[in-house]
Every structure is written in structure tokens, then in C-alpha cells.
Structure 1
Amino acid sequence: MLRTLAIGNYRSLRELEMPLARLNLITGANGSGKSNLYRALRLLAETAQGGVVRALAREGGLPSVLWAGPEQFSAGMRRGEVPVQGGPRQAPVALRLGFAGEDFGYAIDLGLPVPSMSAFALDPEIKREVIWSGPFLREANALVDRRGPMARIREGRAWRIVAEHLTPFESLFTQIADPVSAPEVLDLRERIRGWRFYDHFRTDAEAPARLPQLGTRTPVLSHDGHDLAAAWQTIREIGDRAALDAAVEDAFPGAQVEVDVRDGRFQLVFAQHGLLRPLSAAELSDGTLRYLLWIAALHTPRPPPLMVLNEPETSLHPDLLPALARLIAQAAQRGQVWVVSHASRLIAALEEHEDCHTVQLEKALGQTGVAGQGLLDRPAWHWPER
């Protein structure tokens, strides 16, 4: 489980360190930085997939995602006595992402490339990567250290160089992960690859979830929900069938959801008291279909180490939000869950659970921070130096 998340110089997240729990609720006013935090976490996950530089390119490149304000705010700027203004840069350009878990921590530092004649001269380069043990980085607990093209691994009290020519645009997760020589890298890479993000389920008239699909065993619902019926049937056969049915009853009393299989094609059907025939997925309202998608996602027989739900209240009737909160709280018993939301009823329902850790974001001078967080409230954190 992640205990600390740290972001430096990503959009409005100039300097953010926040503690985490098993169930995390991220709230805040529009424009406070919730989406930036979600996107930073997705960017961090891309390091294990080998796509962090490509992900930055999709956002417009490093100059587009970097903090746009001054390096430091003077006391006069904070009090509004002098205008906000920049000055000569004192530190190198750096986009930093990192986390600390219950056993390992990881940090990556991306910066501008060395000037060259390459046609890819705008690609950011990975300057530092470090994996350590414990809650925060110290010199004594570093396990894997990558500086530019060179990577070394700790062996006892000494270091062993494992690579001297790493490419600057790929993480060490894709270049030196090995079960023998670098087991920590391999272990952490697989954990990060197990993170699961749900951002938007299609429920329009042409949404794949509404149409019969060829079905195979599906322990993990896809991010777009096209395999909903197959995932539902998989849960019924190898997952918690009773919990699945209870979730339907909690949201839609008296209703039953079954999977209709014809010639290998799977489709959900929804039977409700008072109707003479069950409704197909194509006939369901957007809200009902979206809620069934959340039921399938949160009852996966293969719980991830981290599941992130971005605005799960979208298209749902407010009366369904307390039931959704119960679904999320149950999922948090099997793995760490993040919820990014601004729906007051969902927030209130989640906060009724004692394990819910609420992080309210606020923005001042263009910079996102945690409301009420003082210097002593921040978790211990140290970035690796270049």
C-alpha cells in the first residue's frame, strides 16, 4: 500500500507531499488541482510501462506540463505586496514524481535533454531514478540508483554497476528489471503495472457495453467497459457471487442481473419487479448501465494493489451515491482505493466510513496544496539530487 505520494513541478503541483491511507478521497473546488493530481499519478504509472516520455508528449511535452509560476514565492508575493514575478533560474528544470509504500519507495526526475543535433531534441530525459526501502529516501537505504545512463545496485555495503549505457527516454523498469540481478526493480515494476485506473465508462447508444460481445473469462473489467457481460459472468463463476447479487439488490431493490449467452456472445439482461420481460443492456438508462459497470469493476476476482476512480458519480442519480460509497468501501478492504470526486453526497457517504482519508485540495497563487496542511503535517520526503 502506498503511504506517501510526492509530486514536484507538474502543472499546479509545484511541491506536494501527501500521506495516504487504504481509502483515499480527493476533493476540492473546481480548478483546485484534482485532475492534475490524477494525471500525475497516471504519469507515474507510465514509468513501469515504458511510456512516460510518450505520455508527456501527449500532454504537449515537458514545457507544457511544468509548473508555470516562479521557482519561489517571496513573502511579499504571498502577502500581495509585490507582483508575482520570476527571476534567474537557480535550479535545473525538473519534473519529479515519487511514492513510498510499506516496503519500497521510488522517485524519478525528468529534465531537459542535453543540447544535440538529434531530431528528438525536445524529448525529456530521465536524470535520476532511485528505489529505496523504508518510508523516505536516505543514503543508507537506497537499493537501486540510476544517474543518467548509469545504474547501480546495492550489494551489502557496496554498490555494483549493472548498466552504463541506459537510454535516457526509458525507465530502469524497462531496462534492468531482472529476477536475479535486480529483483527489487522487477517486483516494484509488476506492482505498478497492477495499478488500475477507471476514468470514463461509455454509456452512449453505441457504447460497447450495450452490445453483445464475444466473451472470454474476464477477471478484470476493461477501462472502457466493453467486456461488462463477460466480467459479470466471470465474477459469478470464480468471484463472490453473493456480494455481486447483494450489490444489485442494494442499488435496485428487487432487481436481478443475468448474463444471456448465445453463440458465444454475452449480454447483460436486467430484470425488475413489475416488468413482463427483462431489459437488455441496450435498453438501460445511462445511470443504470454505468452503475452496473462500477459493480463489475469493484467486485473483480483479481483485486489490484491500487484502484483509482476518477469522478465515479458521473451520470448517476444522487440516490445511488450512498450505495456506490458502500461498494467503494468494500473494495477498499481488498486493496487500496483512490476516489477523485466533487459530488457532495458521495463525499458525505464515504466519510461515514472510519477508514476514509479525505484530502481536500485548494489553490493559492496558482499552486495546489492540501487544505490545512502545515509543515509539520507533511510526511517526511527527500528527493534524490542530480
Structure 2
Amino acid sequence: MAVAQQTFSQEVAEESPGRDTLQSINIKNVLSFGPEGIGPHGLELRPLNILIGDNGGGKSNFLDVLQLLRAAALGFLPAHIAASGGVRNWRWRGNSAEQASSIEVSVRSAANDSGLKLRYSLSFIEEETFGLKIIDEKLDGTETESGHNYDHTYLEYRDGHPYLVAREAGRKLGKLTKNANFNPQSNETALAQMRYFPEYGNVVSIGFLFDSSRFYLDWDFGRNAAVRRYANIDERAFMPHKGVLSLPGRGSGLLSEDAGNLAAVLDFLRDEQRNPGLRQKIRDYLREFYIYADDIEIEEIGSPPDALRLVLHETNLPNPTPVSRMSEGTLQWLALLAVLLDPNPAPLICLEEPEVNLHPDAIHLLARLLKEASRRSQIIVTTHSDYLLEEFTRSPEDVVVVGRRKGATTMKRLDREELASLLKKYTLSQLWDRGFIGGNK
């Protein structure tokens, strides 16, 4: 069955007028990333980024670094690092104690019409007494007005302390000062606290980009998975999609990272009043994925109802299949639909090997979903699937090859022009299998 066309908000013709976008990133001396980083200018990121490469190359480490930035934006950097083994486990194993670990990102902000481009960098070392020690943090940007570019510094370290721009009445920017009301802990980021100062306005949108991002990395759809339990009916009370200031989880209007609120999210998305046409689109994608599927239903359990249960209706069967008995592949597909068809998604969505549990015949549907979703959100995907890679033969620039050189991770985006002659003879997956683009043994 073909998926209905031009029904869901005119195929998102009226998409969000703008979104914060991660433009580039460079990583040095963090996890498998060495002192040379990803390159002199880092890795440029596109709306859709497909990461391929051999096991142990660093694909998962790349996503871990993005999660680290989320923790930095939320104010949980020390706790996040401690929970994942401490600072030493985060530092490149080839460096000496004197070399700092650093992350640099650039973001295009959609918060205003002046084309604000923000750059944020964070450097830290391992300190013997306290473990994590931030030694440098900087936030600056370029604003375009009347055809001219204006560079501004909003935050930088001096003598081991963060200094902020002091804003004065009637002026956009003042001088860098040590704000008396701004006193972050030495092992916490200044970025996490900047957003509580309204005078910095749009500048802190870089923090909201990361703290609103979603990471679907260790999905579990097995027999004891959270998604197979009844959802609390209170999860219908959604908060706004954007600017969520809480840890990723339920109640945000987005699928939680364990997919435990799937029933509530699908119930919300299928509301015809809120999202005209989306209910039918979810059904069409489900039926194309599983030919025996008719539709899903969200049942209220209890009297008065206190829980939600997801069930699957199949053709020629009078009784539905409860969520506890659905196949792992079907549940994962429904979770992918909840993430990738959301009209108001997280600004950054990371998916680790979303093809797992899916039949190879469904991979072209997954690719279609990813391409469509990248018009509303920025998507980063890791994969080992040559079937999925095949779907990007016409857009090789969406693919990033991850490898190792001298014990450090390398990342290179494919170039359409460089591959033009080869792509006349081979598909991308064939080039990968033959070793023409790297990312394999």
C-alpha cells in the first residue's frame, strides 16, 4: 500500500519556520578522538547524517560526545562523567595528562532573523583531587545585519574564571565582566547557568538545542521492556515540545529514550484535531511495513481509567494483539514512526542502528522516513546496514565514513563529485563492500 501523499500538513510544506541547527563539530582528546580532532575545521553536519564504519571505529563515541554536550547544557556534566566511569575514561587513551580534552561546536540559531551563528567550546582535564576540571569555556557568535557581519564574545575564561558580557541599557553588548551574580561551580559549565539570565536571550539557544535533543541508542523491545508495560494515563498531559528544561523522559511530548511512553505519544500524535492527517499516515506506514496489520488502537484501562494500552489490529482476526505480545520489529517500527513522524520533533535526534529488528525489505521505508524527518529535525544515524546505505546512492553527501588512523577516530563526509564516475557503475553499498570509500576492514 502506498503511503498517502500530501495529506500530513501538506507534507510539512508549512514546516517550522526555523530551527537551531548543529553546523559543525570538532572533538580532540575525547574517547577515541585524538589530538588532531576530526580535522582542521571539524565535521560539517547536514540535516541528515548517516554514519558508517567498522566496529570500534568511533560511531558510538561520536554520539556519546553529543550526549556529553547535553549534560553540559543541562548542568549535569560532572554527574554524567562520573556515572560513565570518570574523567579518565572520557579522555583519549593516547594522550598525556597535560593535554586537555576539548569539544567545539558551531550552531546556526533560528531564534531571530539576523542569521546568528554561535560557536561554543569546552575544554577539561583530569584533576587529581576533584576529577573533572573545566579549564576553558567560550561562547561567541557572528550576527549579520544590513549586509555586515558583527562578531561578539558572550562568554570566555580569564584566570580560570568565566567572564560574561555585561549588557547595558540601550546597548546590545558591553564589556566582559565577572558577573557578581554568576558563580558556577568550578567543575560545572557556565553555559548551563547562562540560560537563567534573561539578558542573554537568544545566545543561550545553543544550550536549548542540546538539552532538548533525543538519543535512541539502546532501545529494548524484549519481553521485559518498558514499552510493553501499560502507560500511565497521566502521560497524556504533554508539556510543550520545545525548550524543555528537564531531563529527557516522559511528559515532554516526545518519545522517551526507553520508548516507555509509546502508547501515550501515539495517542497524542493520532489526535486528528491536533495533527490532521497524521493518524492515517501512521496507519499507512504501519500497513506497508506489516501487510497483515490493519491499525493500532490506544485503549484506556481501569475504571476510572488510569492506564493506556497499545494494541494491534490485524486483518481477518477478530481480537487485537496486546503490546505484550507484539513482535520486537513491529514495536520498534511504531517507535520509529513516533519519533520520525512527529510534526514538532526534538531539534536533534540521534538513532543508533535503527535497522536492527527490521526485515531488509523494510529498510527502504526507514530511509524514506529518515529523509522526511530531516526536513523538520536534524538527524544523526549510525548503521552497519548496506541495505540502508544503498538508499543514499543518490545523496552520498549524507553519508559520513568513520574509521581509525594512528589509534584515533577519523570522520570523512562523502563527496558527490569525487564519486561521480564510480557511482555510474556501482551503488554506495557496492562501493563500501569493495573498499572504495573506507569504513571497513
CA distance, structure 2, for counterparts of residue 309 and residue 373 of structure 1: 20
Amino acid at match of 2:122: I
CA distance, structure 2, for counterparts of residue 184 and residue 126 of structure 1: 24
* 1:294 has 2:336 as partner: yes
CA contact (8 A) 1:131 1:143 kept: yes
Amino acid at match of 2:288: D
- The structure whose RCO (Cα within 8 Å, separation 6+) is larger is 1
TM-score w.r.t. length of structure 1? 0.82
C-alpha displacement at 1:140, in angstroms?
Answer: 4.7
The aligned residue for residue 360 of structure 1 is 401
1:308 match: secondary structure: strand
C-alpha displacement at 1:143, in angstroms?
Answer: 2.4
CA distance, structure 2, for counterparts of residue 20 and residue 112 of structure 1: 29
Q: Aligned pair count?
A: 347
CA distance, structure 2, for counterparts of residue 354 and residue 372 of structure 1: 11
- CA pair 157-124 structure 1, distance change in 2 beyond 3 A: same
Given candidates 81, 84, 96, the residue that maps to 1:56 is 81
2:24 match: secondary structure: strand
- CA pair 207-60 structure 1, distance change in 2 beyond 3 A: closer
Amino acid at match of 2:219: F
TM-score w.r.t. length of structure 2? 0.72
Question: Counterparts in 2 of 1:64-213, with a 5 A limit?
Answer: 64-69=89-94, 92-102=98-108, 103-113=117-127, 121-134=129-142, 140-147=151-158, 148-153=160-165, 156=173, 158-163=175-180, 165-213=183-231
C-alpha displacement at 1:63, in angstroms?
Answer: 2.0
- CA pair 27-301 structure 1, distance change in 2 beyond 3 A: same
Unmatched segments (≥5 aa) in structure 1: 72-88, 116-120, 378-386
* 1:214 has 2:229 as partner: no
Given candidates 231, 246, 262, the residue that maps to 2:301 is 262
Amino acid at match of 1:67: W
- Structure 1 runs of 4+ aligned residues shifted over 6 Å read none
2:199 match: secondary structure: coil
C-alpha displacement at 1:370, in angstroms?
Answer: 2.1
2:370 match: secondary structure: helix
C-alpha displacement at 1:19, in angstroms?
Answer: 0.7
Amino acid at match of 1:244: I
Deviates more, 1:220-229 or 1:364-373: 364-373
Cα RMSD (Å) of the superposition? 2.7
Unmatched segments (≥5 aa) in structure 2: 1-20, 109-116, 144-148, 168-172, 239-252, 419-441
The aligned residue for residue 272 of structure 1 is 314
C-alpha displacement at 1:301, in angstroms?
Answer: 4.1
CA distance, structure 2, for counterparts of residue 187 and residue 18 of structure 1: 21
2:257 match: secondary structure: coil
C-alpha displacement at 1:34, in angstroms?
Answer: 0.7
CA contact (8 A) 1:146 1:172 kept: no
Sequence identity percentage: 25
C-alpha displacement at 1:154, in angstroms?
Answer: 6.2
The aligned residue for residue 265 of structure 2 is 231
The aligned residue for residue 359 of structure 2 is 317
CA contact (8 A) 2:339 2:345 kept: no
Amino acid at match of 2:47: R
